[in-house]
Amino acid sequence: MARIIVVTSGKGGVGKTTSSAAIASGLALAGHKTAVIDFDIGLRNLDLILGCERRVVYDFVNVLNGEASLQQALIKDKRSENLFILPASQTRDKDALTMEGVQQVLSELDQLGFEFVICDSPAGIEHGAMMALYFADEAIITTNPEVSSVRDSDRILGILDAKSKRAEKGLEPVKQHLLITRYNPSRVDAGEMLSVDDILEILNIPLLGVIPESQSVLNASNKGVPVVFEEQADAGQAYQDAVARLVGEDKPMRYVKAEKKSLLKRIFGG
């Protein structure tokens, strides 16, 4: 059975789509057949970050409406033979998503032998987000180290526990993972950001990864290349670590402590 994983948060702009692209790409690079679906109907962005925007012919809603087959709409990534993208529609309304239609697409992906289906959720709790959440086996709660972002993520945890298919059917709860993005240990030490421990105390779910605040994320997105391919970048390495943990590997948590300045730097500044 495919593992259906939603990448979600309560707040917009926390890095869900960047994380969806990086995690899906990382899984594919590790040899896992992976599909990533953009649930943000009307505001398509996943294809841009994955660099396949010019190759979109059919989209998620075309498949739901029977205007194209799933195989016609899936875009094979040029960098990894194991990664396929199902883009959102830019011109349709979020109400185009139906329970029956989404269930059918997920079932087809399972039948096609996909090991992972990553669902890139819109922000908040509107229709597209609820559809992405409903069918999830696992959820990656993506949050920035700020109070409003963490509070909104806590709301999403409540929805997962109450309104997912697993909750409705009385099945084992949706497995929850915490991904902290745009983390800067120096700003934490300065009291400008919540610490990892602060966030864990509030949300109380297992930590999947900490992605450092990094220019490499923006650079990669602008180039249409998921940052996980930037092997020398700290953010790329952090996403690689998160992917490894997702498939059961034990990896130490990097980029959570501020670097100590050397004696020379403390004397001469810098």
Would the annotation count 98 as a binding residue?
Answer: no
Would the annotation count 6 as a binding residue?
Answer: no
Would the annotation count 169 as a binding residue?
Answer: no
Which tokens in the block code for residue 186? 């120096």
User: Cα–Cα distance between 149 and 146 in angstroms, integer?
Assistant: 6
Residue given tokens 């057949």 in the structure block: 33
User: Cα–Cα distance between 117 and 132 in angstroms, integer?
Assistant: 11
User: Cα–Cα distance between 3 and 43 in angstroms, integer?
Assistant: 25
Would the annotation count 124 as a binding residue?
Answer: no
Can you give the C-alpha Rg of the chain in angstroms?
Answer: 19
* Of the candidates 177, 176, 169, 196, the residue with the CA atom closest to the CA atom of residue 185: 196
**Phi then psi dihedrals of residue 205, to 5 deg:** -130, 160
Would the annotation count 16 as a binding residue?
Answer: yes
User: Cα–Cα distance between 89 and 41 in angstroms, integer?
Assistant: 5
Would the annotation count 15 as a binding residue?
Answer: yes
Q: Which residues are annotated as a binding site?
A: 11-18
Q: Which residues are annotated as a binding site for ATP?
A: 11-18
